[in-house]
């Protein structure tokens, strides 16, 4: 038998592995640390895989020297994590290793490294009674050996302050903290708040960093130079060797789900990391995911609640749904209802600020011909092209761009017209209705350049503008005390999603957007414009009572046995030729369906994905459902094996989503 090993995983590019022979009497497992002859000496290595054969000449292969005792150095922990992820998410170990252990890259040093200093430059707030109780509760739970807990606090209840106090204690004990936040809420606000509290001890990760800069941040964790790593999901792989706590703020946020293989769910991976590092995990949210909250309900996860906002006098905003059908009936064709327009004006007159949410960027979501009805579509994807203000048509899936044609490509008429509204159009409308107001727009287009995102938030917080409008980006974590009105322009776009989790997402989004209003002493108000004002989800959102929402959602999921009442796996098969996909799946599905049925599971599909074609590739989805997690993984492996037999040249790309 032979083993593929990786030598010194922290220092080499991890693509490179070496083959060694396993001596007859040696028992070896994937992930074991071993000592191998390497160069002129011996080196520590880790076993990646075990094989019966190798394609090298026998005489060139050396024997593994010995198996080392597991000492749980951080490398070993991270390797075990990669091994676990590889199994859990059906992705090759190499790909998982690349995710877990960043390739080491040299960066040129700019300026001196910050020294380790301990002084609190910013005086900590004294906790409210509610915060103090929660803090004690969490500490007690962890000291009794609870592995995880949920801090469930309404928006503005001061969860961050509780995190900071916990961090302080962990650091005082000489341990380290990973602080996860959704990508987009890593604003100067959160960042400076933490950096001021722990000067010199914080390292940050974010998406605009180069690979070298990321490696540098990670290296500071390994060397002990910093004690806190703050960042989006990949910060969970910080190579701290004495980890004391992992905090995951806004646990429900969708950016925590990886969009590339391994398509991991951060919530689950940090629990594994916590287990390997013997450190507790704290989840925080105002709208916990149904998945997580079902554990609280079952009594498997201790939960600590903050019911009130922390700033004295601040209360949750007043919410109201505006019936847009009525507006139309009464002759108002504007994107603003009369009541929203009036209330915006009122705020402008009083010198208060307004936030407007719209979940579509660009100027208009589609352009079509008024003569033949044809819409302009992306040649590579199964979607319509978005019109942008600069007259360019853009595909929001693949980035394809083209100029707006003068005549219809189908019937040659010149009656092309843009329909619908995106953030750019909303911005122009705002300018014409409120000509004196300062207006900022925040979406992917306006924040493309480095630093632009922070610049907009900074300007708004310094009250250089009255209205901030934008997409999801304006929603998360921001704390602007002068904002007293939040408008959700077109909630129907969110309600119409057909995914079984759509209700949950909509509820979370509405709560988060609304949570931006009235965070200071002045009361806040939220207006939600809708063409289906009686939608049950809106009623639940208006109540601002998570438990009622959860109860409804739970009943619905239970009735249809959706997660968390079952385990569901979405398997996407992706290929450029539709006919080939159909042919292969047609041959293989009867066997797969039979096997899954025999195993007590259910299959659905293959269905075309919601967007069937992206970047010239077709996507078919098969769902499998079972009550048992491990059986789902076995059924998945069976599918992989069967697909390999039919698709001999490995043309079809497979993607798994564990739901």
> CA 649, CA 580: separation in Å to the nearest integer?
12
**Residue 28 and residue 34 in contact, taking contact as beta carbons nearer than 8 Å:** yes
Choices 21-29, 120-128, 317-325, 355-363; region in contact with ligand ADP by CB under 6 A: 120-128
How many residues bind ligand ADP (CB under 6 A)? The answer is 15
Please give the structure tokens belonging to residue 333: 């064709």
Q: Residue 112 and residue 212: Cα distance in Å, rounded?
A: 17
Location of structure tokens 């390999």? 644
Task: Quote the Cα angle for 67-94-578, to 5°.
Answer: 150
Residue 185 contacts ligand ADP per CB under 6 A? no
Tokens (6 digits) for 180: 């996860």
Minimum gap (Å) between residue 374 Cβ and ligand ADP: 47
For ligand ADP, the closer CB: 193 or 554: 193
Residue 192: CB minimum distance to ligand ADP, A: 12
Sign of the CA dihedral with 621 first, then 622, 628, and 631 last: negative
Residue with Cβ nearer Zn ion (277 or 394): 394
182 counts as binding ligand ADP under rule CB under 6 A: no
55 is annotated as contributing to ligand binding = no
Residue 153 touches which member of Zn ion, ligand ADP, none, C-beta under 5-8 Å by kind = ligand ADP
For CA atoms 512, 513, 518, 520, give the dihedral sign: positive
156 binds, among ligand ADP, Zn ion, none (CB under 5 to 8 A by kind): ligand ADP
Residues from 403 through 462 that contact ligand ADP (CB under 6 A): none
Of positions 30, 296, 305, 311, contacts ligand ADP by CB under 6 A: 311
Of 62 and 414, CB closest to Zn ion:
414
Partner from Zn ion, ligand ADP, none contacting 395, C-beta within 5 to 8 A by type: Zn ion
Annotated ligand binding at 372? The verdict is yes
Q: Known binder of ligand: residue 96? A: no
- From the list ligand ADP, Zn ion, none, pick the one residue 125 interacts with, judged by a Cβ distance below 5 to 8 Å according to partner type: ligand ADP
Q: Which does 155 bind (CB under 5 to 8 A by kind): Zn ion, ligand ADP, none?
A: ligand ADP
Place of tokens 């007159």: 349
| C-alpha closest to that of 655 among 81, 87, 91, 85 | 91
Q: What are phi and psi of 393, to 5 degrees?
A: -95, 135
Per CB under 6 A, which of residues 455..514 are in contact with ligand ADP? 479
Closer Cβ to ligand ADP, 162 or 494, answer by number: 162
**Residue 395 marked ligand-binding:** yes
Q: Rule CB under 5 A: which of 358-417 touch Zn ion? A: 369, 371-372, 378, 380-381, 395, 397-398, 400, 408, 410-411, 413
Is residue 378 a known part of a binding site? yes
Q: Residue 411 annotated as binding?
A: yes
Residue 161 in contact with ligand ADP, rule: CB under 6 A: yes
Residues 360, 471: contact at Cβ < 8 Å? yes
Dihedral of the CA atoms 332, 336, 339, 345 (nearest 10)? -120
Q: Which residue has the tokens 């999921």?
A: 557
By the rule CB under 6 A, 518 interacts with ligand ADP:
no
Residue 251 contacts ligand ADP per CB under 6 A: no
The C-alpha atoms of residue 341 and residue 430 are separated, in whole angstroms, by: 10
Helices and strands (H, E) in the chain, number of each type: 18, 27
DSSP assignments along 431-459, one per residue: HHHSTTS-EEEESTTTT-STTHHHHHHHH
Distances from the Cα of 589 to the Cα of 352, 555, 568, 610, angstroms: 60, 32, 17, 20
Element (H, E) at 189: helix 188-197
Helix, coil or strand: residue 172: helix
Q: Does 131 bind ligand ADP (CB under 6 A)?
A: yes
Residues that bind Zn ion (CB under 5 A): 369, 371-372, 378, 380-381, 395, 397-398, 400, 408, 410-411, 413
Residues that bind ligand ADP (CB under 6 A): 125, 127-128, 131, 153, 155-161, 310-311, 479
Binding site members? 369, 372, 378, 381, 395, 398, 408, 411
């Amino acid at each position: 038998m032979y083993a593929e090993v990786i030598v010194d995983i922290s220092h080499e590019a991890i693509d490179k592995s070496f083959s060694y022979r396993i001596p007859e009497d040696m028992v070896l497992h994937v992930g074991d640390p071993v000592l191998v002859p390497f160069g002129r000496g011996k080196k520590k290595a880790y076993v990646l895989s075990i094989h019966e054969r190798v394609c090298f000449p026998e005489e060139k292969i050396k024997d593994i020297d010995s198996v080392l005792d597991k000492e749980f150095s951080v490398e070993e922990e991270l390797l075990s994590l990669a091994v676990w992820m590889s199994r859990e998410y059906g992705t090759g170990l190499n790909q998982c290793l690349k995710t877990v252990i960043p390739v080491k890259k040299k960066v040129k040093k700019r300026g001196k490294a910050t020294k380790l200093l301990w002084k609190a430059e910013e005086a900590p707030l004294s906790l409210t009674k509610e915060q103090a109780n929660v803090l004690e509760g969490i500490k007690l739970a962890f000291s009794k050996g609870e592995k995880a807990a949920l801090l469930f606090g309404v928006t503005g209840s001061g969860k961050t302050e509780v995190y900071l106090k916990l961090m302080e204690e962990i650091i005082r004990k000489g341990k380290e903290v990973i602080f996860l936040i959704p990508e987009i809420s890593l604003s100067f606000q959160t960042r400076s708040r933490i950096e001021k509290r722990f000067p010199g001890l914080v390292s940050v990760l974010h998406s605009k960093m180069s690979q070298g800069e990321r490696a540098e941040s990670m290296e500071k964790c390994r060397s002990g130079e910093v004690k806190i790593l703050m960042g989006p999901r990949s910060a969970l792989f910080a190579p701290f060797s004495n980890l004391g706590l992992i905090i995951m703020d806004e646990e429900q946020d969708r950016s925590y789900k990886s969009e590339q293989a391994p398509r991991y769910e951060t919530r689950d991976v940090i629990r594994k990391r916590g287990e390997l590092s013997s450190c507790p995990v704290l989840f925080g949210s105002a709208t916990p995911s149904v998945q997580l909250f079902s554990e609280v309900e079952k009594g498997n996860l201790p939960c600590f609640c903050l019911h009130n906002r922390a700033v004295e006098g601040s209360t949750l905003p007043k919410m109201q749904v505006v019936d847009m059908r009525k507006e139309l009936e009464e002759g108002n064709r504007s994107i603003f209802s009369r009541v929203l327009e009036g209330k915006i004006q009122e705020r402008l007159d009083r010198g208060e600020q307004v936030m407007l949410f719209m979940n579509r960027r660009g100027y208009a979501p589609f352009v079509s011909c008024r003569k033949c009805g044809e819409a302009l579509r992306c040649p590579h994807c199964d979607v319509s092209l978005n019109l942008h203000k600069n007259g360019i048509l853009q595909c929001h899936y693949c980035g394809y761009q083209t100029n707006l044609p003068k005549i219809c490509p189908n019937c040659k008429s010149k009656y092309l017209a843009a329909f619908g509204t995106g953030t750019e159009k909303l911005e122009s409308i705002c300018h014409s209705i409120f000509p004196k107001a300062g207006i900022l727009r925040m979406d992917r287009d306006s924040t493309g350049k480095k630093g632009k995102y922070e610049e907009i938030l900074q300007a708004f917080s310094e009250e250089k503008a009255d209205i901030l409008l934008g997409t999801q980006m304006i929603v998360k974590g921001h704390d602007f005390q002068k904002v007293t009105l939040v408008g959700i322009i077109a909630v129907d776009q969110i309600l119409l999603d057909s995914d079984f989790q759509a209700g949950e997402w909509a509820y979370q989004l509405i709560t988060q957007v609304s949570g931006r209003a009235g965070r200071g002493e002045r009361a806040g108000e939220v207006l939600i414009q809708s063409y289906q004002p009686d939608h049950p989800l809106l009623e639940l959102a208006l109540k601002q009572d998570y438990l009622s929402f959860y109860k409804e959602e739970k009943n619905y999921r239970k009735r249809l046995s959706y997660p968390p009442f079952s385990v569901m796996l979405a398997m996407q098969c992706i290929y450029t030729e539709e006919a080939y996909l159909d042919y292969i799946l047609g041959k293989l599905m009867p066997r797969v369906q039979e096997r899954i049925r025999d195993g007590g599971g259910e299959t659905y599909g293959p269905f075309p994905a919601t967007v069937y074609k992206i970047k010239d590739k077709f996507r078919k989805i098969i769902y499998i459902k079972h009550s048992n997690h491990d059986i789902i993984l076995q059924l998945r492996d069976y599918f992989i094996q069967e697909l390999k037999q039919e698709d001999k040249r490995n043309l079809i790309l497979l993607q798994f989503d564990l739901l």
